Amino acid sequence: MPLYTFYLCDDSAQPYTFEANECSQDSEVFRKANELLQEHPRAHFVTVWESERAVLACHREEPVLRAVPQVEIRHDA
């Protein structure tokens, strides 16, 4: 199985740690990258390499903040 290196990057886009994992195919890499983002709250994104080949950059999904229109709620009995 190919060996993939997952680099966890902080908000300055610098890797602060890495993890090497064997995956049977590239499609498994996306799942593992998302797992690592869940396990490492400091990570803003993960880049994945297989030897010298860039495989994936997986970014944390940031919540979208939207204004909520004011609605009058009436309690008629």
Q: Would you kindly state where each structural domain of the chain is located, as residue ranges?
A: 3-59
- Cα radius of gyration (the chain): 19
Q: What is the mean pLDDT of residues 12-40?
A: 93
Mean pLDDT, the chain, whole residue set: 88
Q: What pLDDT digit, counting tens, does each position of 60-77 carry?
A: 876 666 666 776 767 776
- The owner of tokens 């990057």 is 9
Predicted structure pTM score: 0.76
CA distance 27 to 30: 6
